[in-house]
Amino acid sequence: GENVEQHPSTLSVQEGDSAVIKCTYSDSASNYFPWYKQELGKGPQLIIDIRSNVGEKKDQRIAVTLNKTAKHFSLHITETQPEDSAVYFCAASMGNRDDKIIFGKGTRLHILP
Amino acid sequence: DTGVSQDPRHKITKRGQNVTFRCDPISEHNRLYWYRQTLGQGPEFLTYFQNEAQLEKSRLLSDRFSAERPKGSFSTLEIQRTEQGDSAMYLCASSRPSSGNTIYFGEGSWLTVV
């Protein structure tokens, strides 16, 4: 079955600097890769997603890149702000199914003042 | 457009008791998912419905767990004879395949079994 590995597990960056979180997946048939942000005591909130027919997608300070050959995808946050502090999860579809996604274990991002 | 709604948000129960959680999906979302999340882990898939049909159940879902979506709208997740290992956050999510099937989560229901 699909396996999603995420690293680092914890990341601290100075406010204003960039943060990068990387994920790898095992199923070459996976075609959908969402990223979620989770704040303490809340449910995961979708922040950006990418499908396999696209190599990069950007939304303001957030961008995601996908390398299908290497089976890895990354989240890039530029000009980090204190409100970016949270746990971030990558996920990948189970093969080419659109009804099930498998999550990584998460990255706790700390934005330092 | 209201989000996914879950109730209760927090539940403390004694071991051996039964608990039930309710989820109201986003309007017109015909797919509804249940996930479980423990501290320091990502959400783990439990089961999902398309309309009222339960299409898949994870091996994580023991016989003590049952989920229903009788009219294809709200869903309930019942845990019978709770055990301390059931302590987790139970997340509900919904999606609509006609809109790319992006999955949206609720705020979760925290269960503590003492």
Residue position matching structure tokens 């089961």:
B47
> Residues with Cβ < 8 Å from B98, sequence gap 6 or more?
none
pLDDT digits (tens, 9 = 90+) for B5-57: 999 999 999 999 999 999 999 998 999 999 999 998 999 999 999 999 999 89
Q: Is B42 on the interface with A (CB under 8 A)?
A: yes
- B55–A99: do the CB atoms touch at under 8 Å? yes
Instruction: Give the C-alpha separation, B8 to A9, whole Å.
Output: 30
- A105–B40: do the CB atoms touch at under 8 Å? yes
Q: What is the pLDDT averaged over residues A65-90?
A: 97
- The pLDDT of residue B1 is above 60: no
pLDDT digits (tens, 9 = 90+) for A22-36: 999 999 999 999 999
What are A45-53's contacts with CB under 8 Å, separation 24+? A45/B105, A46/B102, A46/B103, A46/B104, A46/B105, A47/A88, A48/A75, A49/B102
Closest CA to A43 of B26, B27, B31: B26
CB atoms within 10 A of CB B8: 12
Q: Which of B50, B56, B106 sits opposite A43 (nearest CB)?
A: B106
Closest-CA residue of chain B to A89: B42
Q: Is A83 exposed, middle or buried (0-12, 13-18, 19+ CB in 10 A)?
A: exposed
B16–chain A nearest CA distance, Å: 25
Q: What is the pLDDT averaged over residues B63-85?
A: 95
